[in-house]
């Protein structure tokens, strides 16, 4: 018999994983009911808001602190998960099966339903032990992080409901680590999806026409790939850098043409760009537009999105929550590596309004499988994560 079979916290985690909240068409109602049940179990009040859309709920479970006038703590997680290719999985992706090694297989096992139920488990343990905390804690569950959070966290931070929460600090998701070190994310790169709408001479495919859209695209592509190579070289030649410290550029979509012997009047090329923290956004935009001019002109640039430059969370003694987090992890003898998150999360919307946020998932010695086939989390790692959050939540809520 599995040693984890009758573990209450493991079963709550698995129950959550079985709710297939898969983008793009999600019915969030089963999660709302699941979380209402969890709030009742904890003896805590729950609120459901709809800041972005009636079909996109934000759920807030609150534990009021001894000094509720102090800025509060948010423990954030998102409810949605990315699609799956079931035929690529060796376990059904929403069955939350657990094997003999204690690996729990399900979409969301790492990203990030684990974090959500670990928050609740840590709070359950703290309340059972009679712990009191200075600051109020809001455990927040948001929709649509996997599709940029427009109707989720982005809408929430602009709402009167969020303002009433009086948030002083946010803890959000991180990424698993393959070794004993835990990754801690204090900033994110800025996401730009850059659309080049390229106009040029059209005509018969048998001619050598001047200033075609293809020629202009070739020039821009070369410039961007040269820049990409420079960033590749920086990353490879400086061991102190990680992927989050450099700017990444990838061609993702090319559109154009109607027939193989017709030179098209327009082409569209779309690039995924993640700008490093040291990049001046205005300078970078000017450089892109200069290349368009050099390519021959008649090139329109559209951004969707063009994220602003967001200040990193301070990792020094000016940030009491950083001090509290460090003290807790030090007492647990955890090895922590502060990093810039290479992708994106809801933390960027929190930092954008001036609230410090850290991204942390208590998962180590585990392959990174977010968005991958056979995503899993080992039961013992999950349970250890609850103990880690127990310590961290106590520390930051008493900062």
Q: List, edge to edge, every strand of the sheet that includes 190-199.
A: 248-256, 266-275, 190-199, 299-306
The C-alpha atoms of residue 382 and residue 14 are separated, in whole angstroms, by 11
Which residue shows structure tokens 């012997």? 261
Phi-psi region of 261 (alpha: psi -120 to 50; beta: other; left: phi over 0): alpha
For helices 29-42 and 8-17, what crossing angle results, to 10°? 160
Active site residues: 80, 145
Burial class (CB in 10 A: 0-12, 13-18, 19+), 293: exposed
For helices 379-397 and 113-128, what crossing angle results, to 10°? 60
Burial class (CB in 10 A: 0-12, 13-18, 19+), 259: exposed
Furthest-apart CA pair in the chain: how many Å? 82
The C-alpha atoms of residue 284 and residue 197 are separated, in whole angstroms, by 18
Contacts 24+ apart (CB under 8 A), 85-94: 85/373, 88/373, 88/374, 89/373, 89/374, 90/374, 91/374, 93/375, 94/17, 94/18, 94/19, 94/20
Instruction: Tell me 202's DSSP state.
Output: -
The C-alpha atoms of residue 244 and residue 278 are separated, in whole angstroms, by 11
> What is the per-residue burial (b if ≥16 Cβ within 10 Å, else e) of 222-249?
ebbeebbeebeeeeeeeeeeebbbbbbb
Rg of the chain in Å (alpha carbons):
24
Start-to-end C-alpha separation, the chain = 43
State phi, psi for 57 to the nearest 5 degrees.
-75, 150
Question: In this structure, what token pair is assigned to residue 330?
Answer: 């030090």
DSSP one-letter string for 134-150: SS-EEEEEES-GGGTTT
């Amino acid at each position: 018999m599995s040693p984890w079979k009758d573990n209450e916290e493991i079963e709550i985690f698995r129950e959550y994983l079985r709710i297939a909240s898969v983008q793009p068409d999600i019915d969030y109602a089963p999660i709302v009911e699941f979380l209402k049940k969890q709030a009742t179990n904890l003896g805590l009040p729950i609120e459901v808001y709809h800041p972005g859309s009636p079909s996109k709920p934000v759920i807030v479970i609150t534990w009021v602190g001894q000094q509720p006038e102090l800025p509060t703590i948010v423990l954030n997680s998102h409810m949605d998960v990315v699609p799956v290719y079931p035929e690529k999985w060796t376990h059904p992706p929403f069955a939350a099966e657990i094997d003999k090694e204690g690996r729990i297989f399900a979409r969301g096992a790492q990203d990030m339903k684990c974090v959500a139920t670990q928050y609740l488990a840590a709070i359950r343990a703290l309340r059972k032990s009679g712990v009191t905390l200075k600051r109020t804690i809001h455990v927040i569950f948001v929709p649509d992080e996997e599709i940029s959070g427009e109707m989720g966290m982005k809408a929430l931070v602009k709402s009167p409901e969020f303002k009433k929460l009086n948030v002083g600090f946010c803890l959000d998701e991180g990424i698993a680590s393959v070794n004993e070190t835990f990754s801690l994310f204090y900033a994110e790169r800025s996401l730009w999806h850059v659309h080049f709408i390229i106009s040029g001479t059209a005509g018969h495919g048998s001619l050598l026409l001047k200033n075609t859209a293809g020629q202009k695209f070739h020039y821009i592509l070369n410039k961007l790939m040269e820049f990409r190579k420079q960033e590749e070289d920086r990353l490879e030649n400086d061991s102190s850098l990680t992927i989050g410290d450099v700017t990444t550029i990838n061609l993702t979509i090319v559109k154009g043409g109607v027939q193989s012997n017709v030179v098209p009047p327009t082409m569209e090329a779309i690039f995924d760009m993640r700008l490093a923290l040291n990049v001046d956004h205005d300078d970078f935009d000017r450089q892109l537009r200069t290349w368009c001019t050099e390519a021959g002109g008649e090139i329109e640039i559209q951004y969707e999105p063009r994220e602003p430059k967001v200040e990193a969370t301070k990792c020094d003694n000016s940030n009491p929550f950083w001090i509290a987090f460090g003290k807790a992890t030090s007492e647990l003898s955890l090895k922590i590596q502060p990093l810039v998150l290479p992708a994106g999360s809801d933390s960027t919307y929190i930092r954008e309004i001036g609230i410090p946020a850290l991204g942390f998932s208590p998962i180590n010695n585990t392959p990174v499988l977010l968005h991958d086939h056979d995503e899993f989390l080992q039961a013992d790692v999950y349970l250890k994560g609850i103990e880690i959050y127990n310590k961290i939540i106590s520390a930051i809520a008493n900062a």
